[in-house]
Amino acid sequence: MTSAPLTEAELDGIRAQFPILATEVHGHPLAYLDSAATAQKPLRVLDAERAFYAEANSAVHRGAHTLAADATERYEEARRTVAGHLGATEHEIVFTGNATEGLNLLATAIGHASTGRGAGADFPSHGLVEGDEIVVTELEHHANLIPWQELAARTGAILKVVPVDDDGVIEADAAADVITQRTRIVAFAHVSNATGRVSPLDALIAPARAVGALVVLDACQSAPHLELRPAELGVDAAVFSAHKVYGPNGIGVLWGRRELLDALPPHLYGGSAITTVTLEKAHFLPAPARFEPGTPRIAQAIGLAEALRFVDGIGLDRIAASEHALAARLHDGLAGMPGIRVLGGPGADGRVALASIDVDGVHAHDAGQVLDDLGIAVRVGHHCAQPLHRRLGLTASLRISAGVHTTPDEIDRALDAVSGIRSFFGVAGSAA
């Protein structure tokens, strides 16, 4: 059964939890439409971090005093909260600096396993050899491309790409041809940060599973909008950043199947990740501790857990229903505008509430300035997706992205502003 969108009263109550939304920009009420870059933080997240520092600040997993025990319990409770949100176990949750670090962790650990250097000699099962294949798509964020480029360069593996069409939509039928018996890793975005489209999961996961490849999911743009159950999706690892889902900066999550995490060597080395150390060799703890050396991001983990409680309290099903209505409003409005090209093609179906546009005759940075002058915050640039923009013949685009607090009026303000950009710059009469 389809869930009901948030009511106006519920939306008002949610917005009241974000103090930054009361800001004025250039004399206009702030319309924050850049949630895909970073989400704003509700007061309860800020309060949770502050409470840790005020009440329990201490190192975790060490020390015999009361504060240390309290800090450790709060930190591990945060891990359990994240696990529950993902339908996972706590042993499958690794706290990282962000999603980028999580993807680099995987690529680096597999690289260590491939070369057999240091600790990698003890964990060869997921190593790559020359001629093995790593598959990505043409629309990936650089964070889900460059680590695999580097892994391929270090191991002699071949990086292959599932293409997109002229609109920037993944060519689902091509995946079965790109993925072969030599494919060892398939990595792709759950939702494109540039087009907002949900990737064709079955078309990418099924052929990967058929050849025994590891499937890595970049869930940064799906985690704030859709229910995320990585194990149920059939992937082996997934990453997201807390700051995209109303949590703190500086922390992310790597979910991995336990058997995968236990089969990978560490990517960083230091205290808290070991069982014994001699002058010649170290022996490492099981996951997740193996991948969290040093003093971890304790307050940030606690803040992330509070952010997920905030989201779960509203219900991702209801968030998705409300944002689908916003997406339809946004894409319907853009569809009737001359000179506006929407990356990923027209229509809101199969999308989160995000649209990247090219304004004919106007550079994205200039277009973004027009919106900023009206108090509307959007992203401009290549969105860390240069290959996709290059495929579409662009260097930059303007991205409008909604969050749980976005109102229909804010979408209308953005549409009204976009509709006047070409006229503002005197290019309204040019070819669309």
Catalytic annotation, residues:
384
Encoded tokens for 428: 């309204």
Instruction: Tally the C-alpha atoms within 13 A of residue 199's C-alpha that lie toward its C-beta.
Output: 30
How far apart (Å, rounded) are the C-alpha atoms in residues 356 and 110? 34
User: Quick one: CA dihedral 159, 163, 168, 172, positive or negative?
Assistant: negative
166 to 76, 308, 333: CA distances (angstroms): 46, 37, 22
364 to 70, 109, 418, 421: CA distances (angstroms): 49, 38, 11, 10
How far apart (Å, rounded) are the C-alpha atoms in residues 398 and 400? 7
How far apart (Å, rounded) are the C-alpha atoms in residues 56 and 142? 38
Sequence-distant (6+) residues with CB within 8 A of 279 are none
User: Closest Cα to residue 291, out of 140, 30, 108?
Assistant: 108
Please classify residue 129 by burial: count the beta carbons closer than 10 Å to its beta carbon, then call 0-12 exposed, 13-18 middle and 19+ buried: exposed
Instruction: Output the 3-class SS for 300-361.
Output: HHHHHHHHHHHHHHHCHHHHHHHHHHHHHHHHHHHHCCCCEEECCCCCCCCECCEEEEEECC
Q: Name the 3-class secondary structure at 196.
A: coil
How far apart (Å, rounded) are the C-alpha atoms in residues 254 and 96? 7
Q: Name the 3-class secondary structure at 270.
A: coil
